[in-house]
Each structure stands twice: as C-alpha cells, then as structure tokens.
Amino acid sequence: GENVEQHPSTLSVQEGDSAVIKCTYSDSASNYFPWYKQELGKRPQLIIDIRSNVGEKKDQRIAVTLNKTAKHFSLHITETQPEDSAVYFCAATPNSGGSNYKLTFGKGTLLTVNP
C-alpha cells in the first residue's frame, strides 16, 4: 500500500518568512495530493491540493509543487503569519479503480510562526 513520509516534523519560522514542508510517497499510482491544516483539537481542513497532471498550483500565499518522477510534493507558505501556526498534513491517494478515495497521510509538521 501507499506510504507517505513527511519532513520536517517541526518547523519554526519568523513572521513574514517562508515555510516549506516536503512529502514523499511510494505508490506510483497515486494521483491526488491534498494538504490539510489542523489546529489544536479541530478537524483537518483542506487548504490546497494538486493532481498528477499538474506540476504546480498556487492559491494566494500557499503553493504546492509535485515531482511525479521523484515521487515528492511540497507545500510552500510565503509571508507567514501567526495564524498559520498549526499542524500540516500531506496525503496521497490513487483515487482510481476500487480505491474509493482512501487518503494516506504523512505524520504531520507542527509549524510555529513567531511574531
């Protein structure tokens, strides 16, 4: 089955700096890669996603890049703000055939943005 590795486990940046979180996946059949933000005690919330037919996607201060050959994808947050502080999870899924869209998550990155 799919295995997703995520690094770093913790990341501390100064407000205004950029943050980059990286994930690798093992199943070459995976073709959908969402990123979730989870604040303490709350549900994971989708912040951005990318499909395998696209190499990069951007939404305001957030961008995701995908390298299918190397099987890795990254989350980039620019101009970080204190409210970006949360745990970020990457995930992957084959999203085809009988997979029924099961997500395999990375272990998460605790991002702390210091004012």
Exposure string for 75-95, b = 16+ CB within 10 A, e = fewer: bbbeebeeebbbbbbbbbbbb
Which residues 48-87 are close enough to bind other proteins by CB under 8 A?
A: 49, 51
Beta-bridged to residue 74, according to DSSP, are: 22, 65
Residue 89 binds other proteins (CB under 8 A):
yes
Integer Cα distance of 71 and 73 in angstroms: 7
Pick the binder of other proteins from 12, 15, 81, 102 (CB under 8 A).
Answer: 102
Pick the binder of other proteins from 17, 26, 28, 46 (CB under 8 A).
Answer: 46
Binding site for other proteins (CB under 8 A): 32, 34, 36, 42-46, 49, 51, 89, 91, 95-96, 98-108
